[in-house]
Structure 1
Amino acid sequence: MDDSTPGEASLGTTIVGIVARTDSFTSDPPAGSTRADGDAVVLASDRRASLGRMVSSKDAQKVHPLGETAALAFTGSVSGAQALVADLDTERRLYELRRGQRMSTTALAGYAAAAMRQQPYGVQHLLGGVDGDGARLFTFDAGGSILEQPFAADGSGGPFAYGTLEAGYEPGMAVADAERLAARAVAAASERDTASGNGLQLVTLTPDGVDDRVYDDPAAVAS
């Protein structure tokens, strides 16, 4: 997806999200559940940004932490992504200041969807987070529609990443396995999508906080 205007930097890219479990997570999913219950979310992306046919950056940040236990992964307009992150982070801070508690992932997702309906940010994104209800992963389109998913991919490399995710995903998979799968998905997309490449950003969200790492080669995690 790339709604950027000519001359504007864009993140034609690969972004991936997976709900996972840490070793300390022991509860069983409810009967008939269609969602993979867990207490962690892994978000991953490549690191390339483009300006027309030129690679404008080889170390673009496409996954942005929001507070201590949530993050957004973007594809589309760089300026739109930065604006939405700033707007959502402001709303999160105000919410927490007024109520004295963290904004839930579901509330963050609802605000993000409403904001996208009101303003053309020119982005699509994944939002992951961990709160008292467990781990959540939401997908959005440019119009603000929202869906909760156990795993997802988006961006120009998303269709290639989905093949790897479909083959390797298992409900309730461990964080380490989810990180390897996410890295493999980004690597596979980077092989086929010219707008994706230049390494890996890997962000893991758990009740303990945000672990944000970058690698020059996804193989450092995928193997």
Structure 2
Amino acid sequence: MSPADASGRLPDAFLRPGSSSFVDFLTAHAPELLPGNRSTPGTATLPSTADLAPHATTIVALTFGTDGERGVVLAGDRRATMGSMIASREIEKVFAADEYSAVGIAGSAGIAVELVRLFQLELEHYEKIEGSLLSLDGKANRLATMIRGNLPMALQGLAVVPLFGGYDLDRGTGRIFSFDVTGGRYEEREHHSVGSGSVFARGALKKLWRAGLDSEGAVSVAVEALYDAADDDSATGGPDTVRRIWPVVATVTAEGYRRVDDETLAAVVGRIVAARSEGGQHA
């Protein structure tokens, strides 16, 4: 759909009152722009599209809470793979969805990043139309609907499986939501992980998470869970102390979304490496 007609005026569809969902607007007026409606080449002579597309791997999330601060931490490693090759060592997989929520991506990297950008626009559009923030449950439901729209691509091997977390302004605490490729939405308690290294990360989270963690302790647990995942999963990249490439780690609290800076992460990784070098199991 052209944004303007021959006279230079916007089409009527842009000016009529309608749904507060930008995705609904695209579905009605330009469905070919939705990630799930993109066509992919598929012939017997070409390798699978999924084998040609870089894949993002491991994302972890955990809640934390003290009397003075409650929220959620999301973290992702930086490696993207393409078959047996490393496609990127510096891909970012954790993004702010809006001021009070964040989303981490696992699966087909290109489609996942496009879906995240559309999700960010969806939340911004809702806020501008309605004049208020969508509830955290509402955000998770919108994301589930978008994932369901990507099902045709998932059936071709280009699946996107995000992990969503945020600060619930109504409940005053952090919450985590996971999804499946059909758009199923599930609230997770305490912690969760998705991606190729998730089975190893979950084992670490079970041992390291505890009630009453503060934000600093939760960041350390997230980094160590990714460290354990990278130790056993070749598709998950561990902290690269030579190139100084650290995981992307973010906290979401009543103060909003905040990305943890590289200096802090370097110190956390240093403590983990030192503890394990000395024969300890965990920092």
TM-score by length of 2: 0.68
Q: Which has the higher strand share?
A: 1
Q: One-letter code of the match for 2:167?
A: V
Q: One-letter code of the match for 1:155?
A: G
Do 1:180 and 1:221's aligned partners in 2 also have CA atoms closer than 8 Å? no
How far has the Cα of 1:155 moved from its partner? 0.6
Please give the alpha-carbon distance, in whole angstroms, between the structure 1 residues aligned to 2:86 and 2:266.
16
Task: Show the counterpart of 1:194.
Answer: 234
Task: Show the counterpart of 1:24.
Answer: 68
Please give the alpha-carbon distance, in whole angstroms, between the structure 2 residues aligned to 1:173 and 1:73.
21
How far has the Cα of 1:142 moved from its partner? 1.3
Do 1:4 and 1:76's aligned partners in 2 also have CA atoms closer than 8 Å? no
Of 146, 149, 163, the match for 1:126: 163
Do 1:21 and 1:174's aligned partners in 2 also have CA atoms closer than 8 Å? yes
Q: Greater CA radius of gyration, 1 or 2? A: 2
What SS does the aligned partner of 2:86 have?
strand
How far has the Cα of 1:131 moved from its partner? 3.1
Unaligned runs of 5+ in 1: 26-38
* Residue 60 (str. 1) matches residue 99 (str. 2): no
What SS does the aligned partner of 1:102 have?
coil
RMSD: 2.0
* Residue 204 (str. 1) matches residue 246 (str. 2): no
Of 52, 61, 84, the match for 1:7: 52
Q: List structure 1 segments (4+ residues) > 4 angstroms apart after TM superposition.
A: 214-218
- Give the direction of change, closer, same or farther, for the CA distance of 1:102–1:4 in structure 2 (3 Å limit): farther
Unaligned runs of 5+ in 2: 1-47, 154-158, 240-246, 273-282
What SS does the aligned partner of 2:73 have?
strand
* Residue 142 (str. 1) matches residue 187 (str. 2): no
TM-score by length of 1: 0.85
Pairing of 1:13-92 with structure 2 (within 5 A): 13-22=57-66, 24-25=68-69, 39-92=70-123
How far has the Cα of 1:125 moved from its partner? 1.4
Q: How many residues matched?
A: 207
Identity of matched residues, %:
30
